[in-house]
Amino acid sequence: MRRFHSFYLLVFLIGLCLFLISCGEKTTPEEETDQMAKKNEMKEEPKMDIQKQTFGQMPDRQQVDLYVLTNGKGLSAKIMTYGATLVSLGVPDRNGDIADITLGCDSLEGYMAASPYFGSTVGRYANRIAKGKFTLEGVEYTLATNNGENHLHGGIKGFDKVLWQAEPFREEKMVGVKFVYFSKDGEEGYPGNLACTVTYMMTENDELKIIYEAETDKATPVNLTHHSYFNLAGQGEGNILSHELLLDADKYTPVDAGLIPTGEIRDVADSPMDFTTPHTIGERIDQVEGGYDHNFVLRSGGGALVLAARVYEPKTGRIMEIHTTEPGIQFYSGNFLDGTITGKAGKVYNQHYGFCLEPQHFPDSPNKPDFPSTILEPGAKYLSRTVFKFSIN
Ligand code: BGC
């Protein structure tokens, strides 16, 4: 009986030893390399990248390049040298599915044929100048008129229709492209040679930053902005009326029938212009004649880079925040889109299929002494910054 017990005790002890040995066993060098690779993969920095492609050719055969910026986390932007235009912006939704959230065209010819400033850099003066006239230092200037009797977005051949010189760059945690354009004295009627730089940067924090710089040799109005039509559900995916919008503006500038500000600065309170708390774009749009196409006066007053707008698309969870140093933001609800343009991937753009939020100075400022000045003097530096920041909820 005792011998029987000792036998089982021995078997138990041998089993225990084998178990302990197997627990303490070292991994093979191959297994170790494998485990390290896995750990490194988890730690690996997102891959920021920038690639250059050809987008098309101008009628005079100059090549139009496209720069593709990626942040390794799903955000990507394609920007071409024609108009320093944002051609597409890929953004992940709450399931990680990426959609292009800006309206536009598949080809350069599309942009040249009929683009209502899709993704463009707009200048020398974004928005309207009444009757294309203003007086500066006692001299009356006459600009090209291209919107009825008014001047709009820089005239017949604004900054959106010229070829910019591009220089890509990389910095720690960002990739970017610097676009340069020299606007000659008298171009579209403006005084002074203006050297302009627009720098797009993509960061690993899911931001697309744009910095505008300019210098002149004669006093001139300058008001540069970015003109993407956004649909956070994806370009061509229906209208934007259920997007929720917040604007940090408690005043706006009412306009006349030609969309020129009357000069009044009116409170948004108790009106369909009040987006100081989030409202869908469609909720009160019927109460606004023609739809939203107004300059909102930001509470910041301009200067500091602060939040101006936040837009949320409930189906996809995409959120876009706009931070700017500008004192105003033009909110345009795509009222003039009418289904006559077939855009990217064969999508037809009907009314309200995209919205624009254009950080800028107020329209017609050169004729409105009470509005913040848009006059750039020789020796001074124009500097404006806007950040589009993406997240999901
Ligand atoms: C203006 C609209 C104009 C649109 C396209 C917007 O910035 O506010 O009135 O129709 O650009 O030109």
User: Ligand 1 pocket, 90 CB below 6 A?
Assistant: no
Provide the mean pLDDT of the chain. 92
107-157: per-residue pLDDT in tens?
999 999 999 999 999 999 999 999 999 999 999 999 999 999 999 999 999
Taking 70 as the threshold, does the pLDDT of residue 16 lie above it?
no
The residue-averaged pLDDT of 337-350 equals 98
User: Ligand 1 pocket, 337 CB below 6 A?
Assistant: no
Pairing relation of β-strands 76-80 and 85-92?
Answer: antiparallel
User: Ligand 1 pocket, 330 CB below 6 A?
Assistant: yes
281-307: per-residue pLDDT in tens?
999 999 999 999 999 999 999 999 999
190-243: per-residue pLDDT in tens?
999 999 999 999 999 999 999 999 999 999 999 999 999 999 999 999 999 999
Q: Which of 118, 253, 356, 360 to mutate to test the pocket of ligand 1 (most atoms within 8 A of CB)?
A: 356
pLDDT at residue 27 in the model: 47
Tell me, in angstroms, the distance from the centre of ligand 1 to residue 195's CA.
25
Taking 90 as the threshold, does the pLDDT of residue 319 lie above it?
yes
Taking 90 as the threshold, does the pLDDT of residue 45 lie above it?
no
User: Ligand 1 pocket, 341 CB below 6 A?
Assistant: no
The answer to whether 128 and 152 have CB atoms below 8 angstroms apart is yes
pLDDT tier at 26 (50, 70, 90 boundaries)?
very low
Tell me, in angstroms, the distance from the centre of ligand 1 to residue 47's CA.
36
pLDDT tier at 23 (50, 70, 90 boundaries)?
very low
> 43: phi > 0 → left, psi -120 to 50 → alpha, else beta; which?
alpha
Coil, strand or helix at 334: coil
pLDDT at residue 21 in the model: 45
Strands, sheet with 165-171, edge to edge from the N-terminal-most edge strand: 165-171, 174-183, 194-203, 207-216, 382-392, 318-324, 306-312, 244-247, 279-280
Coil, strand or helix at 171: strand
Going through 93-157 in order, the beta strands assigned E by DSSP cover: 98-100, 120-122, 128-129, 133-136, 139-142, 151-152
User: Ligand 1 pocket, 332 CB below 6 A?
Assistant: yes
Query: What is the Cα–Cα distance from 225 to 119, expressed in whole angstroms?
Result: 10
Tell me, in angstroms, the distance from the centre of ligand 1 to residue 259's CA.
9
Taking 60 as the threshold, does the pLDDT of residue 17 lie above it?
no
Tell me, in angstroms, the distance from the centre of ligand 1 to residue 224's CA.
14
pLDDT at residue 322 in the model: 98
User: Ligand 1 pocket, 207 CB below 6 A?
Assistant: no
Residue 152 Cα: closest atom of ligand 1: 12
Q: Active-site residues: which are they?
A: 227, 358
Domains of the chain listed by start with CATH number:
49-392 (2.70.98.10)
User: Higher confidence at residue 33 or residue 355?
Assistant: 355
The residue-averaged pLDDT of 54-68 equals 97
Taking 80 as the threshold, does the pLDDT of residue 50 lie above it?
yes
Coil, strand or helix at 284: coil
Residue 335 Cα: closest atom of ligand 1: 10
